[in-house]
Amino acid sequence: MENENIRHYKSAKFCPVWNYEMVIENNDLRYLLKLKDYEYLPEYEQIELQEHWENICNEYAELQGSSAGENDVVLSLQKAAIQYRVKHDYVMNLLNILAVNYADKEVLDDLKKAGYKIIIQKSIPEQIENIRARIKQFISMAEMKEHEAKELQEQNDNGNVSTFSIADIISDYKKRTIDLKKVTLTDWVIIIDNYKKAINGNSKYRDS
């Protein structure tokens, strides 16, 4: 169930760069939650955040447009990897609950919606183990996507330069600190674009 007391980011217009990077770095959609402190993340059903994560990634890719190039492909690979891990954890959690209470109708319904129907007339423990074995493929697929993204980044001239390093470079250039916890993805695209124009000789963008 989604915790209605905790708000979360739903679009690139409001999602800070830091939160976006933390989702990718930790494979954890809970960084989309609006929290004062991220040292300890609350229990939260990440499947509830997946649609918003997809929306944020799609908007971010669209904002980057044709200039995204290889980064757009890397973004798609990273997004897919996280989706696979979230689905694996979600189904595994449901199976763990069902293993304790075979008659949990809500869990049975959620499993069915996820594509895994439990037949009551058959051995439930055996079905649980079969599904556990099947969903291992999600981890394998996630690792494959992560590997592809890493390889592509290494091929890119800027592949080893992190977003945080880029922020430091631009901060030095603009003579003021860029706080990625306060800069949204939408604003970040504008900052990067203005920086590229500035270093290409258009000094009027220096103070943008």
Percent of the chain with pLDDT over 70: 83
Q: Which of 30-39, 136-145, 164-173 has the lowest mean pLDDT?
A: 164-173
Is 24 part of a structural domain of the chain?
Answer: no
Is 113 part of a structural domain of the chain?
Answer: yes
Average pLDDT for the chain:
83
Is 42 part of a structural domain of the chain?
Answer: no
Taking alpha carbons only, the member of 168, 152, 170 closest to residue 160 is 152
Is 128 part of a structural domain of the chain?
Answer: yes
Is 187 part of a structural domain of the chain?
Answer: no
Is 115 part of a structural domain of the chain?
Answer: yes
Alpha helices in 29-162 (DSSP H): 50-64, 70-100, 105-113, 124-134, 136-155
Which range marks the domain in which residue 130 is found? 69-159
pLDDT in tens, 62-111: 887 755 555 666 777 788 888 888 989 999 999 999 999 988 999 999 99
Is 35 part of a structural domain of the chain?
Answer: no
Overall number of domains in the chain:
1
